[in-house]
Amino acid sequence: MLSKQIFHTILFCCFSLFITCFLSSTVEAAVTMPDFSLPSAVDGADVDSKSFEGKTLLVTFFATWCPPCRQEIPTLIQLQNEYGPKGFSVIGLSVDEGGPKVVAQLVEQEKINYPVLMANRKTAKGFGGIAGIPTSFLVNAKGNVVKKYPGFVPHDLLERDIKAILP
């Protein structure tokens, strides 16, 4: 009996967390994506946010040691392949404290096809703060953050939301 009660309690908590995250994922008002210039995890070259002007973006804060972050990578690669030619880009912002070498290894290992940059606190704060990872933000072609996704996001939801705002 006790194990059944624990299972139901855990199931209820997970469901409640999912509903809370789903209902709170929409940003209340359009917020402009913060300007940034961050080093690439691969070659160290600075990448400026202005180079993405006019594109629909999925900006995702992640870390190499985070299992849900790594679980999202195949979806992000697929979205980049499918929608990249249509004015879309994923931007990975690593919060790894181990430095770019660790992140570059992940990029190579997973064959990541989108820009992966080393995030800083200022950029995270500019997006409204990051309480946990992964946390992703959908940005429209005008540069406004239109949706926030705390936690792992299923492929179907991302695809639906991206298609809805592509110009």
Give which of 114, 130, 160, 154 is closest to 34, Cα–Cα: 130
Q: How far apart are CA 15 and CA 31, in angstroms?
A: 29
Which tens digits make up the pLDDT trace of 84-102?
999 999 999 999 998 999 9
The per-residue pLDDT for 31 is 87
Which tens digits make up the pLDDT trace of 37-58?
999 999 999 999 999 999 999 9
Q: Whole-number mean pLDDT of the chain? A: 86
Homologous superfamily of the 28-165 domain (CATH): Glutaredoxin (3.40.30.10)
Split at pLDDT 50, 70, 90, the class of 167 is confident
The per-residue pLDDT for 8 is 38
DSSP character at residue 144: E
The per-residue pLDDT for 30 is 55
End-to-end C-alpha distance for the chain, whole angstroms: 55
